[in-house]
Amino acid sequence: MHLRYASEFDHSGIAEAARRCMGAMVDAHVDFAWEPLVNLPHVGRVRSATAPDSSAWLRARRSLPDSRETLVLHTVPRTWRRLVAELSPTRVVGHSVWEAEIVPQAWLSQMECVDELWVPTQWNQKTFQSAFDVPVHVIPHVVSSMVPAQPPIDLPPDVFVFAAVAAWDWRKRPDRTIEAFLEAFTHRDPVVLVVKTTDRPIAWHPPLDPPHAQIQRLIDRYESPARVIVDTGSWTDNEILGLLDRADCFVSLTSSEGWGLGAFDAACRGAPVLITGWGGQVEWLGSDYPGLIPFSLVPNDHPDREIFDPGVPWAYADLSRAVDMMRDVVSSTTSEVRTAATHLAPRLRASFSSQSVGRLIREAIGNSGTDARQNPPSTPPHVEGSVLILTPIKNAARLAEGYVDRILALDRPRGGLSVAVLASDSDDGTVDAFDREFERLRAVGIEARIHERDFGYRIPDGVPRWDPAIQLERRRILALSRNHLLFAALEDQEWVLWIDADVVSYPPDLLVRLVATGGDIVQPDCVRTPDGPSFDLNAWTDAGRWHLDDYRNFEKVDLHAVGGTVLLVRADRHRDGLIWPAFLYGNDHPRKRRDPLALGRPQIGEIETEGLAMMAYDMGIGCIGVPGIQVVHE
């Protein structure tokens, strides 16, 4: 069973939960494609043609829909029927969550199209089982694997930090959390409440002033209020996690939660959590957790009556008890909730790890997820456009025959195939050898040309070509040779396929499969032996930490740098100005390597192939790696 996973990619809780779920599927070797969704005002969730702010590893999983797929809809159900009609899957799984014990009437008709449901808690499972006659599986949310980043606010080290992370939504009741804090403390107390919220009310009763204004009115009611820091700006997920990492306590007087992702993340990092004791959060906290704030069940008064049906109950937290609990967690280092938080964190990290949830997903889909290596993406039989193969050569006479053999074995593009090489600084008869072998190409209608340009560079005798001392100059000359060849040979072709002469094996359908990825810059995995370690280590992610052999379970990956052993480039990208930098490019580039040991030289900045990838990024062009396509280097 191949899955198509549809989700949003913003910083909302539901989008973050979906990202973590997909990460768990990667860990469980479940083959899936990603379908990005965007939430349009007055329209709802719709398919998005682009996902520019999404994670690179997610963008690498985009592909065209296939009617044989199982579609997983991890989003609010308001537009499920339309998405199913557009994608026409074989089977539909609804991945949803709800914050009450009765499914909204407005959702029922939208959710009738599903064959199965996934929900994060048993509490939700009972709710959905009472509304639908389909299997309902519990797939919990996943512990974040991100590295915390410093939040963009100033937090003195000697104050006790309460954190409240929530949209300014009536269900979340951040105003009551702030009120409880102001009741509990004054400006003399070494405490601060950090409120990370939205810049506008999502769903609120009048007055609909911006959150800052509403919070200021609350603060003005107190003669000597404790410090409240409000931030409504755009934070990264890592910065949110950094706040929770710094927080001494997470607090929420929410009326209802299906899971409570902010509280969950804080608890996973060992912070005490004070939260209303009703909803999905009770399931992972435990009903005896001492941080559960007492409450009363009352008819909800959410302003969005389309989803919160009148009369459906939710919780109203006891504010006075919340005040006492907040004071206690500050005053006593041995308070019950602090002790419980210390013991709870490792259990949460183990129970809801990516690996644990990934196994549950495999079970839910009947262990029928497949590995991308076993099922490579289907590809069209031909490349429609014309292709120019380019190769810089130097003292490569012995490679000429095999080079031509492999080109003759390639599946030909319908628009035509042409070949050009640039010979430089050679003394072994390279030009004559290639000219003789190129007659075989010309005999079958493949245009083949040889350009010559010497740069006066030779590797010193006895020095291996990977020696750090010569890297900068060697790579500079190689960049120059590539650029000279490109400008001399490129005419009206649609694709450029760069192939090094010492690549000794690649599949006949190489062009077809690379073009089928839909990328502008595409690289297969270059190895010395099939399924062996990557040989072309210039293709990497995360400042050189990961190479294509680390992504063997991925169909595609967004590369941060590329190599030149085999590289497909859409020709228009070269025409747009994409070259091989013969100089250190991107000293301030966000993706460059900063460790001289990783670079193999003291100079910081990227050159030649890695420099091309940095330049492509600056031009808004992505680089795709395809681990499932392997080429062999001698």
pLDDT digits (tens, 9 = 90+) for 442-463: 988 899 999 999 999 888 887 7
What pLDDT, on a 0 to 100 scale, did the predictor assign at position 207?
A: 85
The pTM (predicted TM-score) of the whole model is: 0.61
DSSP structural state of residue 172: T
Gap between the Cα atoms of 394 and 453, Å rounded: 10
User: How far apart are the C-alpha atoms of 487 and 433, rounded to whole Å?
Assistant: 23
Read off the pLDDT of residues 187-246 as tens digits, 9 standing for 90 and up.
999 999 999 999 999 899 988 899 999 999 999 999 999 999 999 999 988 999 999 999
pLDDT tens for 85-112 read 999 999 999 999 999 999 999 999 999 9
Give burial (CB, 10 Å; 0-12/13-18/19+) of 633: middle
Q: Name the DSSP class of 459.
A: P
User: Is residue 378 scored above 90 in pLDDT?
Assistant: no
Q: How confident is the model at residue 29 (pLDDT cuts 50, 70, 90)?
A: confident
How would residue 466 be classed by pLDDT, with cut points 50, 70 and 90?
low
DSSP at 150: -
The predicted-structure confidence for 32-52, as pLDDT tens digits, reads as follows 999 999 999 888 899 998 887
257-285 pLDDT, tens digit each: 999 999 999 999 999 999 999 999 999 99
- Which amino acid, 215? I
- Is a pLDDT exceeding 60 seen at residue 369? no
Q: What would you measure as the largest C-alpha separation in the chain, in angstroms?
A: 93
Of residues 83 and 63, the one with the higher pLDDT is 83
Residue 179's pLDDT is: 97
pLDDT at 594 over 80: no
Give the 3-state secondary structure of 550-580: HHCCCCCEEECECCCCEEEEEHHHHHCCCCC
225 DSSP 8-state letter: B
Q: Tell me what the mean pLDDT of segment 56-70 comes to.
A: 83
High-pLDDT (> 70) share of the chain, %: 96
pLDDT digits (tens, 9 = 90+) for 504-560: 999 989 999 999 999 999 999 999 998 899 999 999 988 888 899 888 877 888 899
Decide which of 422 and 465 is more confident: 422
Residue whose token pair is 């509403």? 214
Pair of tokens at residue 208: 């609909």
- Of all residues in the chain, what percent carry a pLDDT higher than 90? 72
- The pLDDT score that the predictor gives to residue 619 is 94
Alpha helices in 444-587 (DSSP H): 471-489, 510-516, 571-575
Q: Which residues of 398-419 are buried (b: 16+ CB within 10 A; e: fewer)?
A: ebbebbbebbeebbbbeebbbb
**pLDDT tens-place string over residues 279-303:** 999 999 999 999 999 999 999 999 9
With tokens 């990783």, the residue in question is 598
Residues 6+ apart with CB under 8 A from 286: 344
Instruction: Give just the sign of the alpha carbon dihedral 374, 410, 565, 387.
Output: negative
Structure confidence at residue 333 (pLDDT) = 79
> What single-letter amino acid sits at 577?
G
Query: Phi then psi for 95, rounded to 5 degrees?
Result: -105, 105
Greater model confidence, 377 or 179: 179
Q: Is the peptide bond before 207 cis (omega within 30 degrees of 0)?
A: yes
Tell me what the pLDDT averaged over the chain comes to. 90
Is the CB of residue 58 less than 8 Å from the CB of residue 9?
Answer: yes
pLDDT at 370 over 60: no
pLDDT at 574: 96
Q: In the predicted model, what is the mean pLDDT of residues 420-443?
A: 94
Contacts of 133 (CB under 8 A, 6+ apart): none
